[in-house]
Structure 1
Amino acid sequence: MNKTISINLGGFFFHIDEDAYQKLTRYFDAVKRSLSPEGRDEIINDIESRIAELFQERLKNESQVISLKEIDEVITIMGQPEDYKIDEETTYSSFSQSNSKSSNSKSRRLYRDKDNAILGGVASGFGHYFNIDPLWIRILFIISPFISFGTSLVIYLILWILIPEALTTSQKLEMKGEPINISNIEKKVKEGIDDIASKINNLDHQKISNTAKTGVSQIGNTLSTLFLSIFKVMAKIIGVFIVFFASMTLLSIIIGGIFMIFSSSLPDTFIFNHFHTPFDFDIPMWIQGILLILSIGIPVFFLLILGLKLLVTNMKSIGNYFKYSLLAIWIVSIICVSYLGVVQATAIGFDGKTVKKEQVFMQPTDTLFVRMQYNNYYAKSINERERGKYTHDENNNEIIYSTKVRVHFLKTDENIPFIQIEKSATGKSHNDAKNRSEKIKYNFDIQSNRINLDNYFTTNFKNKFRDQEVNVYIYLPKGTYVKPDMYVKNYDRSDNDFFDLKHDSNYVYKVEEYDVKCQNCPNDDDDDININDSINENVSIRMNDKELKIKATNDEVNIQLK
């Protein structure tokens, strides 16, 4: 049984057995011996950070102990020190060529490159990521605001905030797609040291160059810092709103979805009367609940993560496996929703109707009375409206009850009035829709010059709710007098230019050439009061809402009312 040692490597704590620790120590000693004193400490720190990252990728939990197996795997990736000596120019050149080939095959990671940045290093980072000149990315960002009305500027600032900067040597190598091993880390550090040495040797030239910088460049740097600070604050505010609304929405979706999943135990009456979903009730509610959570909840969850990242600096990632698994599940749920949507659209894709016509035999001088009536078994008032309600009739049969009844007054060239009842529904075919319309039960009654219309209809629950409705068309010849009761107004869908029904059961209407005129409606524009006093002389007083007129014999006085 080997002894276990706790070590701090690259800022992370690991448990490692004694044999693995000794091999790792020998490896670090060999690396140190192979490096020149120049920049050795920085190279060793970067190598330790990279090895710590590789250990973290291989550990399943924090208590797992690193063994010789993990050490060998890491050394294979990092390479042996004697294989990467770059003291001679030829060796360095050959390594650069081989590394260039491997960099093309290794995937890159997106970082901001501040070393080659003009503002935030976003364009340089995308240049490394897509292996193109950053100049083209910068040109695109400069031109696009004129095309997208400034949207690209906002996108650039958001990317500036969200994309991390390549700070360590390992991140800079990863940004360029180069293998993160000893040789590349040493090469990168030496390049940095050479760059610093070059700047020291050319200090005077650098000073002259800095002095020659234009004021525009300095203002640009100041403005970039200012804008970055402003948009960081804005990002925090936006993050708060996103987290609040996303969390509330996600909580509502989860609660609603769970309730739908467990609603299979509820009575059909409750589900039909209280649930309104885009899909038919032939699709089980538990399936609809799961699809609700997956198809809408997953995008809202990712939105919540985005809001948290705006608020929390250096927030730990949820992990690629979890992320891509959720994405795959969401895609499958969207496919299922799309399929069910097509099925639902097909189920109501066709219209069908059944027409019944009956004449109203009445004297030409009679007035036609139209009355709406309700059934007190289904409702306690004629004003109660139901688009579609699951209930039972007097014989305890399961039915759908609806008050979707519409009344239309129209003119006809026939000599006597007639009524036309049109019952309509939808279905997966024309015949299916027509069969459903035929199964609608609607009652009306004609007694001489009186028409009694039900304000409701019913159909068997097995026929399903397929947009069933009843339209009552009352055709009236010219010269016919008609008197609807006050409740007809609530169901009237006539063209107001032809028949503008008032809210009163005492009004009588007459069908004329082009429209229907009210015969006893008050004139709203002429509410006059006439008073005649003939004690001494004939005095006429007339008043409306605009003025008061007083006339005595030949004299007339007008008083304007305000």
Structure 2
Amino acid sequence: MNKTVSINLGGFSFHIDEDAYQKLSRYFDAIKRSLSPDGRDEIMNDIESRIAELLSEKLSNDKQVVSLTEIDQVIAVMGQPEDYRIEDETTQTTYTYASSTRSKKLYRDKEKGMLGGVLAGFGHYFGVDPLWLRIIMVILLFTWGIGIIPYIIFWILVPEAKTTAEKLEMTGQAITISNIEKKVKEGFGEISETINNIDHKKIADGARDGANKVATSIEDVFMTIFKVIAKLIGAFMLIVSGSALIGIIIASVVMIFSSSLPENAAFDFIDTPLGIETPFWIQGLLLLLVVGIPLFFLLILGLKLLINNLRPIGTITKYSLLAIWLIATGFLIALGIKEAGQLALDGKIVQKVDIPITSADTIKVRFVNNDFFSKDVEDKYDVKIKQDSAGNEMIYSNNVSLHLKTTDKAYPYIQVEKIASGKSFAEANQRAEKIKYNFKIVGNQLILDNYLLTDVKNKIRNQKVEVYLYLPNGIVYAPEKNVTNYLDGDNADFDYFYGPEGYNYKVEEGELKCLNCPEENESDEDDEIVNITEKDQDTIKTVTVKVGGKEIIRTETKKSGNLTVDENGVIVKTK
């Protein structure tokens, strides 16, 4: 049983067992002895911060105790003090310690930056000269003016590289003892060179210090404002992404387990981009991964804006989610391309049938349904997979439309067009030919099915039926009320809104004129008595009424009695 010690390292608290604590203390003492007095304190602070960061990454939670194993791993990364050498008077640096490669991290470099250090930081991150980035920013500012908003956002969100360890991370260098010491000494060299170039006569001038204080104060005010804005943005992102993520999870789970729902009733009216041929559980899984993962990262970003010390989700988790998202997105794109390719071309099979009546007769039109598939002619589905009476799976669709056309012939006729899509004209025509659609002509009555059928083997490929009814001049067209749901004004000669169904319409000069539609009479409710005035003479009564928006005055001579006024404002009786 070992004793544990609580220590504060780089601003973090750790529980460390006694043996590990003694080894870490000896390690720090050895480092101090190996360092020159110049900048020793700053170097030690950066080393402690780096070791604290490494220990935090290796501990899964705050309750774990740092052991000798973790200390040995940290020392292996940082290197032993006696294992490196920095040549002070040459530009060449030799390292013989165990190296640790590290990827770059995005920071703002205010030392080399002109304003907030954003572009200088991006220059380090992408390995390009910040000058080119500044030129692009100037072009954006003076052309579309869109450069300032992203710059401000990055200024708010990207932290500044303040410590030596952060500056090493910014340039992609390993954060080891030797690199930290080298960086600090480079800083001292720059400071010394700057001091040597100063005009000592102007040292006493405090104008620069005053300007720096003013600039710092202005920066502090802006940074405070930006932090408040960042908190608001974070709260907004958290609410929006959290709500959307919950909705996506619920929808995805329902779609994934849709096969267990009775007859997939919840999806009768759902139209997905991939269609219902792709199983719903696959579409639900893709929805969860392709949309849910970006929403999850937005949620984490919102939390980071609100909580300063939020622990990262971990590199392994982050890159694993990114890889899963890329795979799912690629799979979705492949399915989309395949789906688009299957619908590239349209095929059409046309059937033309004459209706044996003259232009002086009346043609009645109605739609009927199949009781096996639907109990009401008003029921309408774009497409569904159903079984017929023999138990065979069929594609059932109400994608049937009626178009009214004129003709110069002396008799009416219909043209039925069966349409389907495919990756080639031959394939599309073959699918169109396999569409089952029925209609019949009984005397002067045209009876049309409100549905089409095709075998499920033909797949869902935009199957539809378009019926064109050609009407000669003088014929009477009598549609039933159920025609409204299937009437289509595209490619039609008559206005879609020609009048109510259930009445007779005569074709005259390219128009449908109703023969028995009810006349629009003014309702009695529109006739309002505005005022009735009885004068002080026994023999005169004056009545003012409002009929159809007009005021009418009527008078009647009578010695006594009350007035009765008809709908036109005429006094018809007195009592």
Scaled by the length of structure 1, what TM-score is found? 0.78
Report what 2:41 is aligned to. Answer: 41
Report what 1:277 is aligned to. Answer: 272
Amino acid at match of 1:506: Y
Alignment deviations for residues 153-196 of structure 1 (CA, whole Å, 9 cap, x no partner): 11111111221122222223333444434344345445666749
Which range moved further: 469-478 or 128-137? 128-137
Q: Is the 8 A contact 1:34 1:82 kept in 2?
A: no
Distance 1:79 1:124, change over 3 A: farther
For residues 356 and 234 of structure 2, what CA distance do their matches in structure 1 show? 73
For residues 516 and 82 of structure 1, what CA distance do their matches in structure 2 show? 99
Residue 6 of structure 1 pairs with residue 9 of structure 2: no
Find 1:446's aligned residue among 441, 446, 449: 441
Distance 1:486 1:205, change over 3 A: same
Report what 2:202 is aligned to. Answer: 205
Find 1:420's aligned residue among 415, 432, 442: 415
Find 1:313's aligned residue among 305, 308, 316: 308
Alignment deviations for residues 217-262 of structure 1 (CA, whole Å, 9 cap, x no partner): 9876665444433332222222112111211221222222222222
Distance 1:451 1:58, change over 3 A: closer
Residue 255 of structure 1 pairs with residue 250 of structure 2: yes
Which residues of structure 2 form unaligned runs of 5+?
523-546, 554-575
For residues 174 and 415 of structure 2, what CA distance do their matches in structure 1 show? 83
For residues 313 and 262 of structure 1, what CA distance do their matches in structure 2 show? 39
Residue 502 of structure 1 pairs with residue 505 of structure 2: no
For residues 549 and 180 of structure 1, what CA distance do their matches in structure 2 show? 99
Choose between structure 1 and 2: higher helix proportion.
1
Q: SS in structure 1 opposite 2:165?
A: helix
- Aligned-residue sequence identity (percent) comes to 43
Q: SS in structure 2 opposite 1:363?
A: coil
Report what 1:124 is aligned to. Answer: 120
Which range moved further: 45-54 or 394-403? 394-403
After TM superposition, list the pairs within 5 Å mapping 1:506-525 onto structure 2: 506-512=503-509, 515-518=510-513, 520=515
Amino acid at match of 2:378: N
**1:410 positional shift:** 1.6
Q: SS in structure 1 opposite 2:90?
A: helix
Amino acid at match of 1:66: S
RMSD (Å), alpha carbons: 4.2
**1:520 positional shift:** 3.2
Residue 111 of structure 1 pairs with residue 107 of structure 2: yes
Distance 1:459 1:67, change over 3 A: same
Residue 456 of structure 1 pairs with residue 472 of structure 2: no
Distance 1:142 1:180, change over 3 A: same
Alignment deviations for residues 419-467 of structure 1 (CA, whole Å, 9 cap, x no partner): 2222222345444433443343333222333322233333445544332
Amino acid at match of 1:63: Q
For residues 27 and 367 of structure 1, what CA distance do their matches in structure 2 show? 106
**1:327 positional shift:** 1.0
Distance 1:96 1:5, change over 3 A: farther
Q: Is the 8 A contact 1:360 1:417 kept in 2?
A: yes
**1:38 positional shift:** 5.0
For residues 501 and 201 of structure 2, what CA distance do their matches in structure 1 show? 99
Report what 1:540 is aligned to. Answer: none
Scaled by the length of structure 2, what TM-score is found? 0.76
Q: SS in structure 2 opposite 1:208?
A: coil
Find 1:408's aligned residue among 397, 400, 403: 403
Q: Is the 8 A contact 2:78 2:177 kept in 1?
A: no
Q: Is the 8 A contact 1:247 1:304 kept in 2?
A: yes
Alignment deviations for residues 103-162 of structure 1 (CA, whole Å, 9 cap, x no partner): 9x975432223344543222333344455554554444344222332x221111111122
Q: Is the 8 A contact 2:245 2:296 kept in 1?
A: yes
Which residues of structure 1 form unaligned runs of 5+?
528-543, 551-562
Amino acid at match of 1:47: I
For residues 72 and 446 of structure 1, what CA distance do their matches in structure 2 show? 89
Question: Number of matched residues?
Answer: 522
Distance 1:145 1:222, change over 3 A: farther
Q: Is the 8 A contact 2:3 2:18 kept in 1?
A: yes
Q: SS in structure 1 opposite 2:465?
A: strand
Distance 1:381 1:419, change over 3 A: same
After TM superposition, list the pairs within 5 Å mapping 1:8-407 onto structure 2: 8=7, 9-10=9-10, 11-16=12-17, 18=19, 21-37=21-37, 39-58=39-58, 63=64, 65-67=66-68, 70-71=71-72, 74=75, 77-81=78-82, 83-84=84-85, 91-94=87-90, 97-98=93-94, 107-130=103-126, 134-149=130-145, 151-189=146-184, 195=191, 205-208=202-205, 210=207, 224-268=219-263, 270=265, 273=268, 275-375=270-370, 378-393=373-388, 398-407=393-402
Q: SS in structure 1 opposite 2:237?
A: helix
Report what 1:534 is aligned to. Answer: none
For residues 242 and 113 of structure 2, what CA distance do their matches in structure 1 show? 37
For residues 182 and 398 of structure 1, what CA distance do their matches in structure 2 show? 72
Distance 1:139 1:524, change over 3 A: farther
For residues 275 and 518 of structure 2, what CA distance do their matches in structure 1 show? 51
Distance 1:148 1:524, change over 3 A: farther
Amino acid at match of 2:297: F
**1:415 positional shift:** 3.3
